Structure 1
Amino acid sequence: MVAYHEFVSLSQSADSEERGSAAHLSALAYLNHFGPADEQAALYAALIGFLDDPSVKVRAALAYGLLHSTEAPRPIMLALLQDSAIIARAVLQYSPVLIDADLIGLIKTLDLSMLVAVSQRTQISPRLAAAIVARGQEAVTLRLLRRRDVALEGGLLSELAETRGGDAEMRGALLARSDLPAGARLLLVQKAAEALRGARIVKGAVAEDRLSRVLRDSCDTALSAIGEREAVRTTAAAYVSDLIVTDRVSARVLLHAVVTGHVMFFADCLAELAQTPRAKVFALLETGSRAALNALLARCGLGEGVRNLLARLVLHARATDLADDAAARHYVVTALTEELIAEHGGEIPEELEEAFTYLSEQNIVLARKAARGVMAAFAADTTTALPVAEPRLALPAA
């Protein structure tokens, strides 16, 4: 316990250490005061007096005592906000009494170190975060993006994806956020594909045609995978509608969605194209006859050849697990390819050329996936020898 006359003696000492102790004591006493009003007024006046102390140590001691309290006097914290840099940074970062209105006006003129301090506050509102991002300091923006506890508006995230998605570090930080809008996520995937296509190490290791196929297939997978995740959200219709408006839902995309097991996205596409309730589309995909499926696909505006192909694919998909079983996917794609060749006598109609090319590409990819580990598993379960014929003797050259 320190008597008031001892406190006054400390606060008037020529030693800044003693005045600092007095400032810290007065801050703690004010925050924990439960006595009469005149006593609290005296403590408040003492706090105000320490703001004018010539020693930064004393003012820092005052700030340290009040820094983390929600009961700290706002006028004093605002005054400390205008103090030396070391004190102002601490107040910006830690004081809970500061509100957005206090900070947003300052953000436009703060230097980088002060801006970093604001970005490290425990609570940052979307409005405050947008003001920080508007300063255009990439390091601070990245810091905010990597904080999962900071909510950022979808419009702001989409804008960042559009304007700064070309930077790999920024792209990674945006893609790691679960609240990134679906359209922005797809845009970033496309930017990543462009970056890979232009990377010297990739171009030198993969033939151009194969690289184009791999990147196109990857982008199609990303498009449908994002749609599959969006299917459980209220924004699913908006994502699919945007894809349709921008002409990114093709026969190839619809085939890829089913082949990769993204059936909810496939159903959303059909529902949007046919302007049919989603529940009805699901019912038709699960149990509808081939004629009913063809009628649904006709409402989507698809040609007869594509309709028949998709209807066959749906019927195959009902009996197999296309999402996780590569062998099943390989079987279905092989069956569809052979049916097309047999049906058209090897002369694939122009309408089906894109779909046939896709199936042929997938046949190779899926065959490789399905074959991985098969021989090793077979060898582990059998004792028979490899059936190799005896080599034939070659006649010497005349």
Structure 2
Amino acid sequence: MDEVLLRSLTPSVLGILVRRGADFAAAEDAVQDALVEAIRVWPADPPRDPKAWLVTVAWRKFLDATRTEAARRRREDLVDEEPAPGPATAVDDTLQLYFLCAHPSLTPSSAVALTLRAVGGLTTRQIAQAYLVPEATMAQRISRAKRTVASVRFDQPGDVATVLRVLYLVFNEGYSGDVDLAAEAIRLTRQLAAAIDHPEVAGLLALMLLHNARRASRTAPDGSLVPLAEQDRSRWDTASIAEGVEILQAALARDRLGEFQAQAAIAALHADAPTAEETDWVQIVEWYDELARLTDSPVVRLNRAVAVGEAEGPRAGLAALAALDDSLPRHTAVAAYLHERDGDLERAARLYVEAAEKAPNLAERAHLTRQAARLNARLRR
């Protein structure tokens, strides 16, 4: 059973049902039922035209679900409109589905869940496992999201920036359960790049490829975090890096710079350095300046302070940090790192402990605690 094929066909099958007159929620349920049927039937009896098979079965599932007295007349009209069996239409509704699932009325978590169901073809169980929540909780979240977009016109223009933010949220979830969400986000972004010619879509795809290329080196065998400077660069995926850089260069050549292209440029400079010491921090600071102009994000300015500390020395980094709100996430961790670089080990150790207490997850907390312990051990010598 080719699950990747099933997932890739999901958007177009769903789009066909919607264009035939099914409301989005009912169509999405019918497509999911058809996918389950495909998993059961295809291994023993694979269809010659998988897409046409899914359309036929999903349409029948939809009709079965709407077989009530109140819907009888409309159902009969829909049956009359059903085309004869044969190859499925080549119209691709993937782009419209992206926009629908990233509708501004949805919360980010609901938009991500709906995108994974409707565009990604994942089951509710798979999405629930990936987010470490009960299946019933995820089912409720998806049902609410489908009700929210039920009245949205399928052909209305969408906001590319919103779609990209949703895909980036999917990517940053990483891996959990039996679904690799980073890989799934890359697959979905490739689909979007094939459906729309937009430099920021290319920029996001390049960014994902460049970040994911370093994935194998980000954690030690015991699961602990490995900082970028300490990663084994021989474990980086050079093919993904090369592809990401090529996609990024083509996007930048169009001279329509966006935040994902700028982020990808920073990631490319890290990937291009043979060693941490050879990183071109001066160019990275320049790209952070561009990114700050595009987003005016305090998190970007926080990362820029780290880059300034590397390019111009820790005191310059601390000066850049002083201009920022110290309640920012990871502000204390950055301060600890820069004070350590500046030789103030006692203050750095105290800040590492404080940063560990504020850490958003166990892995980061353990990493910061180890940094504090390392400096305290040095101070006791």
- When the two structures are superposed, what TM-score results if normalisation uses the length of structure 1? 0.28
Larger Cα Rg: Structure 1 or Structure 2? 1
Select the structure with the greater relative contact order (CA < 8 A; seq sep ≥ 6).
2
